[in-house]
């Protein structure tokens, strides 16, 4: 596996990565879309979540797994040409659930917006178990001040898919709400996402 990963890191461009993927599919006999579709049906892969699980599982060829996971990571990090404008909790929640889909480790992100609800920046600030000793408001608002944002959301994922907030989640949210009031930055919501679902703490009146 180390050799595979070593070779994998030699892939420098998106087109090389796609070429690697297509070569592996052809070597497996999947030479057209009809055959690929039949293979997906055979493997019971009907969603991107299924695909992520397949790449991570023991049934997937190790070389294909490395290329597949790298491709998914690059797609997640692709920046669209259009400016994202967020106008409702449902729109924000869907956007964030898609953004963190398939992430296996808990992460906390801050989304900074301007007065017109355009996204100024998105920052992954913490990874691992999110609690008050790790995720501190000063780091979250430090970037808000750097970007001179008008408002912000925070979001963290529960890889298990359980959207019930923990006591640490609730305490952090209250701390953020109090800090935002002092700094005159709109703290709009704290979302928990998992397995393509989301919970808005604001809509559930949890702060």
pLDDT for 105 equals 85
Confidence of residue 152 (pLDDT cuts 50, 70, 90): very high
pLDDT score at 46: 83
Per cent of the chain over pLDDT 70 is 86
* Average pLDDT of span 16-44: 87
DSSP state of 47: S
Q: What is the pLDDT of residues 95-145, one digit of tens each?
A: 888 888 878 888 999 999 999 888 889 999 888 765 544 567 888 999 999
More confident residue, 139 or 85: 139
Q: What is the pLDDT of residues 178-192, one digit of tens each?
A: 999 999 999 999 999
Question: Given the DSSP bridges, would you call strands 119-127 and 197-200 parallel, antiparallel or unpaired?
Answer: unpaired
Please, where are the H alpha helices in the chain?
2-8, 14-27, 33-42, 48-56, 62-76, 89-99, 137-146, 167-183
């Amino acid at each position: 596996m180390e050799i595979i990963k070593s070779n994998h890191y030699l892939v420098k461009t998106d087109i090389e990565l796609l070429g690697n993927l297509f070569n592996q599919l052809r070597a497996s006999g999947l030479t057209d879309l009809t055959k690929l579709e039949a293979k997906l049906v055979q493997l019971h892969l009907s969603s991107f979540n299924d695909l992520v699980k397949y790449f991570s599982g023991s049934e997937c060829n190790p070389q294909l797994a490395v290329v597949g996971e790298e491709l998914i990571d690059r797609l997640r990090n692709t920046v669209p040409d259009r400016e994202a404008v967020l106008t409702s909790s449902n729109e924000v929640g869907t956007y964030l659930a898609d953004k963190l889909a398939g992430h296996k480790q808990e992460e906390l992100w801050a989304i900074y917006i301007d007065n017109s609800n355009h996204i100024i920046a998105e920052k992954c600030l913490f990874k691992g178990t999110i609690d008050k000793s790790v995720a501190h408001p000063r780091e979250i608002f430090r970037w808000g001040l750097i970007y001179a944002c008008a408002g912000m959301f925070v979001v963290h994922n529960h890889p298990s898919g359980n959207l019930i907030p923990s006591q640490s989640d609730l305490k952090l949210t209250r701390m953020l709400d109090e800090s935002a009031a002092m700094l005159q930055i709109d703290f709009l919501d704290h979302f928990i996402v998992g397995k393509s679902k989301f919970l808005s703490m604001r809509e559930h009146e949890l702060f």
